[in-house]
Amino acid sequence: MTATAPPQPRDPSRTRTSRAIRTGGGLSLRIEPRALLATLLLAVVALGMGVVLIGSGDFPMSPGDVVRTLLGNGTASQEFIVTELRMPRAVVALLVGAALGASGAVFQSISRNPLGSPDVIGFGQGATAGALTVIVLFKGDALAVTGGALVGCLLTGAAVYFLAWKRGVHGFRLVLVGIGAAAMLTAVNHYLITKASIVDATRATVWMTGSLDGRGWEQAWPLLGVCAVLIPLMLGHGRSLRMMEMGDDAAYALGVGVERVRLVLMLSAVLLIAVATAAAGPIAFVALSAPQLARRLTRSPGANLGASVCMGAALLVVADWIAQQGLGGTQMPVGVVTGVLGGCYLLWLLVAERKAGRI
Amino acid sequence: MTTEKNPRSMPVQCQRLSAESVTLAYDDRVIAEDLSVEIPDHSFTVIVGPNACGKSTLLRALSRMLKPSQGRVLLDGHAIGSMPAKKVAKTLGLLPQSSVAPDGITVADLVARGRYPHQGLLRQWSPQDERIVEESMRSTGVGELADRYVDELSGGQRQRVWIAMALAQQTPLLLLDEPTTFLDIQHQIDVLDLCAELHETRGRTLVAVLHDLNHAARYATHLIAMRDGEIVAQGPPAEVVTAELVERVFRLRCQVIDDPETGTPLVVPAARQARGRAVAAPATAAS
């Protein structure tokens, strides 16, 4: 939208982006119609693509059949294919995408920098280092690899937080410390691969690409549990997070418990990214791009946590569908698709930022 | 009466905002030690002093942005650090020196954020919020800009928007950290006029840090002069601003004459030739 003379007279209950809904009894909500619509639309796209994803494969099913089966009215074989084989993968895709979107939005908002997202500031590399250590040094099984990734990610998160911490985390410090950590961990990861046997190295490389192949309910349930607790918690702090984008002093002056909110949000975001990465490997660029795309779609200033969550889920489901179906018979790990899409997106973002004179 | 170098000998009154022998430090760099100050209710208090004298630090402590390493800041008789953040935010507002307007936010939306401490999850936007935001925008003269993006505004307009946001918070006490910095002279006067009006017509207590001594002398009802982390003098500008005090606080030789417009003290720095000796004399460096 361009700047034009405001229409006169103004209706004070409406601003350009928001309007108020009030009920009797003093209840009042402030909503941004465009943001709400965009979020709902993204949620529908994510769930719809989830259904399409479940329907596609060697035994194709129409979305109608999938929904019927999900409601418990399918044949026994449909039931088996949907609930046992394909649904867990779709659920993992949705949840991993949602987790990446949420934690990306939080970190970008706290660092006030799109590059402050978890995959740039070393969390993915930290998880990889943990997973590779288990694969190469301990020859651990899949469960142990998941645990290794979880521990690696949490340790990296803690290290970056404490190194960047100086009277509150500052955006640039967080990004620079994170990029440093990412570089070091990448070196460690490469070293681990050179030490690995050929079998372990293959396993490690597959893990590092990020994939949803063969994900079952044993990955889906823990992920669902963590997301069900942390995502609502983060959404509940969304208003405070928006205040903090005006600077710590301004937020503090408005009565936001800046340090507490930041700690809660960062801790939740690191936990989310850790469980997501443990479940699917370090999937590139979703955490970086989902909040940015969500912001452009909602045209609402600041962190749009809800929209980012839905955008992340939609992105990952679409990417997984492309990974499975995009190249005819050839299947790809989903990390390859998000990497290629995200790379293009990052370039576009950098060009756009330069045009806007911010870089 | 000019209270010189002995702020603690002042009678202890029940002022809403005061600092009790606070030590202020960033990490181990001590800015001020054993500093006590009381902000007279319903005053327009201005803190002046040379760079690095601790005036902004004192304001940060009064607004609980900086936790004193010793002593305490009292708001309505309670230690401000142990009060709930939202409760403080309903009584005491702050206009920080640097705030960032989120990308793509409109003036009305930014001003509306000032209502945050009065809102809750289920009470996000009451008719009262709406009225107060409108009124805050009107009284700061940004009503016509309501639907414009903050990024598009000039520096002076933007500062008015931030003040409108602080006003929408509706606090009886408002602290302003160098509200006129980076503004041209016309906008500086605009902002100060606005402050004076808030103080006069609404009886709010204002505390501002200002760089310009003449602005301070013209607008303040209570002046606090600081040097090296200590309060050198405080009182009404007409009593505080004297040639000796300016020399003592700012190390500047000057004449103090009556402002032809308002009759308040006006500091006129001595000509270079006349100051020759003063410059040559060993100037005490700030610590």
A253 shares contact with chain B (CB less than 8 Å): yes
By CA distance, what is B83's nearest residue in A?
A: A255
The encoded tokens of residue A310 equal 């839905």
Inter-residue contact B65 to B146 (CB < 8 Å): no
Model confidence at A331: pLDDT above 90: no
Find the length of chain A. Answer: 359
- Class at the top of the CATH hierarchy for domain B3-241: alpha beta
What's the CA gap between B285 and A109, in Å, rounded? 42
Burial class (CB in 10 A: 0-12, 13-18, 19+), A143: exposed
Considering the segment(s) A32-298+307-355 as one domain, its CATH architecture is Orthogonal Bundle (1.10)
Question: Domain spans of chain B?
Answer: 3-241
Q: What is the pLDDT of residue B276?
A: 64
Q: What is the pLDDT of residue A82?
A: 87
Average pLDDT over residues A30-53: 91
Model confidence at A7: pLDDT above 70: no
Instruction: List, for residues A165-189, the tens digit of each pLDDT value.
Output: 766 667 788 889 999 999 999 999 9
Model confidence at A269: pLDDT above 90: yes
Chain A residues with CB under 8 Å of B122 CB are 27-29
Model confidence at B75: pLDDT above 90: yes
Instruction: List, for residues A109-154, the tens digit of each pLDDT value.
Output: 988 888 888 888 999 899 999 999 999 899 888 889 889 999 999 9
Q: What is the pLDDT of residue A11?
A: 59
Instruction: List, for residues B98-148, the tens digit of each pLDDT value.
Output: 888 888 888 999 999 999 999 887 778 888 888 999 999 988 888 899 989
- The ipTM assigned to this model is 0.82
Model confidence at B149: pLDDT above 80: yes
Model confidence at A12: pLDDT above 60: no
CB contacts < 8 A (A, B): 116
A252 shares contact with chain B (CB less than 8 Å): yes
Q: Which of A13-27, B48-62, B182-196, B265-279 has the lowest mean pLDDT?
A: A13-27
Q: What is the pLDDT of residue B40?
A: 93
Specify the DSSP class assigned to residue A47. Answer: H
Q: What is the pLDDT of residue A259?
A: 86
Instruction: List, for residues A272-300, the tens digit of each pLDDT value.
Output: 999 999 999 888 889 988 998 888 888 77
Model confidence at B165: pLDDT above 70: yes
What's the CA gap between A257 and A248, in Å, rounded? 10
* Helix A142-164, helix A123-132: angle, nearest 10: 140
Inter-residue contact B162 to B194 (CB < 8 Å): no
Cis peptide before A282 (omega within 30 of 0): no
b/e per residue, B231-263, with b = 16+ CB within 10 A?
bbbbbbbeebbbbebbebbbbbbbebeeeeeee
Contact across the interface for A29 and B125, Cβ inside 8 Å: yes
pTM: 0.84
Model confidence at A14: pLDDT above 50: yes
Nearest to B101 among A20, A28, A246 (CB): A246
Q: What is the pLDDT of residue B281?
A: 47
Going by pLDDT thresholds of 50, 70 and 90, the confidence category of residue A1 is very low
Question: Domain spans of chain A?
Answer: 32-298+307-355
Chain B residues with CB under 8 Å of A17 CB are 106, 109
Q: What is the pLDDT of residue B226?
A: 94
